Structure 1
Amino acid sequence: MVTTENRTLALADADIAYTIRGPLPPTGDVPTLLMIGQPMTSEGFTDLAEQFPDRTVVSYDPRGLGASTRRDGSRENDPRVQAEDLHRLISELGGPVDVFGSSGGAVTGLALIAAHPDDVNVLVAHEPPLRNVLPDADLAARADHAVTAAYHDRGWGAGMAAFLGMVTWQGPFTEEFLAAAPPDPSRFGMPAEDDGRREDPLLSGSSRAVSEYQPDVEALRALPTTTSRIVLAVGEGSGDTITARTTRATADLLGSEAVVFPGDHGGFMRGNPLNPGEPEAFARRLREVLDAAA
């Protein structure tokens, strides 16, 4: 039987909530598998973590999100700050770990392995949204700012519809895309009415440091056996969406090729009405990649 335990790591300016599934320290020679997202919290990895009953899996809530608190006077979700939190967490866990980071968590993973390479055995970075690696970075930035504007002007439904329109767009962004009317929230089953809230970490702009993060390519390329320690992962169903393109472009910068995983950007999660994931197939692929890169 797999046990689950919720813990808190107390830092000077934050309390980091994390969840352990399985024994700690891990049994045998298999390292702990750390699963990280941003702004997605620990609960987003439940389906995937359940596919690894044979090893210790840890997931966490980034500072200020979910059950984690912060006292640093900031609302910005900065991957460099999160990487330092993870460095402390990995020390608490007892040493180097394997890391699966998805979306913003993949960006944090890249920041972590660049700053603290001895913390990570293998990093699987799944679709990091690093827009500055794209040739159309300026247009992508304008699309991102349009999402934030829609959210602040008309609320969550309008902002989320604009976000989904951006992340499902195939290929480079164009002036025509930017000039088009924003999608109707009903197209995605979203409410059109404004609930008055403006603190969503995905839509408000508080996570823009993630998409604007500049990976330290020199440091990453200098890691021993970089192409085995860092694996860029792209969903087979992601096509030419922005996160698929940023993944392939990042792999190019590191002198490697993106590895294909089942599903799309959320391929490891069930319950998405637009694109339901297959955590079983995703976990099998993740096991293969971790084993090959070990």
Structure 2
Amino acid sequence: MTSTRTLDVPDGSLYYEVRGRGPLVALVGAPMDATSFQPLANLLAADHTVLTTDPRGIKRSRLADPRQDSTPLLRADDLRRLLTHLDRGPATVFGSSGGAATALALAQSHPETVTAVIAHEPPMAGLVEHGDRLLAQTDDVIATYLRGDVTGAWTNFLANANIALPDGALEMMIGGERDPQTVADERRWFAHELRQTVAWTPDIDALRSGRTPIVIGIGQESTGQSCDRISRSLAAKLDLEPVMFPGDHTGFVEETESFAAQLRKVLTL
């Protein structure tokens, strides 16, 4: 059974879902919302309490000022508020992509709320050589989108990330009549979230000296992609060996069962 609720925060409201029973696990993304994690959450709910949420300003999580930027530290504070509100003890937090930045920011700023962090393919440019170039490419992608060239923005974004889609996949994703909420969330991500996440760099010394165990996850099929390089750099800075997960950057969606099996192994470490 899944419970769906909202939590009021000073600048808006946060939509979240809770399912299952057992140790608390939070699955977080950015811009991925609770729906993106639903299949994985359903599997883990067999023996865990699973929290999923829409990040601030996305889908069902509303902001008083929709023009407000979304930073990892702001999203981490949202997650802190949700975990405190649930009052079920500290959580293991699995974050993917921008959600990995959120999870690391939470471990850095509110370690009392976290038992462990699993950061799956974070996208922070400052962690790799020539990160300034990656950030400049991100700025160009955003400017292209805001000029109205949606196809060009996505094409350049995927090229910069070294992600190759199957033939026709991009046209299927952004072609034809699109759901207004999907378009609104896409615009918010480009305009108010993408750069703020890519430009953020965690405090390596704080994470190394903190009490929160950290796991860096990488997709087995992500070799050579930007997030693969960033994740390996972060793992090296933290003196960690990366843990490989099935699939690529969104393996938890395409290969949910095998991904859940690997995540369960990590949860027992």
- 1:60-101 C-alpha deviation (Å, 9 max, x unpaired): 011111101112564311111111111111111112011110
- 1:129-168 C-alpha deviation (Å, 9 max, x unpaired): 0111110112211221221122123432222222122222
- 1:232-255 C-alpha deviation (Å, 9 max, x unpaired): 000010011000111011111111
What is the TM-score of this pair, normalised by structure 1? 0.82
Per the alignment, do residues 91 and 129 of structure 1 end up closer, same or farther by CA in structure 2, a change over 3 Å counting?
same
Question: Does residue 86 of structure 1 match 2:79?
Answer: yes
1:245 is aligned, of 217, 220, 229, to 229
Question: Does residue 268 of structure 1 match 2:252?
Answer: yes
Aligned to 2:27: 35
Aligned to 1:149: 143
Q: Which 5+ residue runs of structure 2 have no aligned equivalent?
A: none
Contact 1:169-1:241 at 8 Å conserved across structures: yes
* Number of matched pairs: 261
- 1:12-35 C-alpha deviation (Å, 9 max, x unpaired): 222111011124xx4xxxx21100
Aligned to 2:260: 283
Q: From the two aligned structures, give the one with the greater helix fraction.
A: 2
Question: Does residue 98 of structure 1 match 2:92?
Answer: yes
Per the alignment, do residues 75 and 55 of structure 1 end up closer, same or farther by CA in structure 2, a change over 3 Å counting?
same
**Distance in 2 between the 1:187 and 1:34 partners?**
30
Alignment of 1:174-213 (within 5 A): 188-189=170-171, 200-213=187-200
Contact 1:231-1:259 at 8 Å conserved across structures: yes
Which moved further from structure 2: 211-220 or 136-145? 136-145
Q: Determine helix, strand or coil for the equivalent of 1:202.
A: helix
Question: Does residue 117 of structure 1 match 2:111?
Answer: yes
Q: Partner letter of residue 47 of structure 1? A: P
RMSD (Å), alpha carbons: 2.4
Alignment of 1:2-21 (within 5 A): 3-21=1-19
Query: Percent of aligned pairs with the same residue?
Result: 36
What is the TM-score of this pair, normalised by structure 2? 0.89
Contact 1:148-1:205 at 8 Å conserved across structures: no
**Distance in 1 between the 2:236 and 2:72 partners?**
21
Per the alignment, do residues 90 and 139 of structure 1 end up closer, same or farther by CA in structure 2, a change over 3 Å counting?
same
Q: Which 5+ residue runs of structure 1 have no aligned equivalent?
A: 171-182, 270-276
Question: Does residue 138 of structure 1 match 2:141?
Answer: no
Per the alignment, do residues 54 and 169 of structure 1 end up closer, same or farther by CA in structure 2, a change over 3 Å counting?
closer
Q: Which has more radius of gyration?
A: 1
Aligned to 1:59: 52
**Distance in 1 between the 2:187 and 2:66 partners?**
17
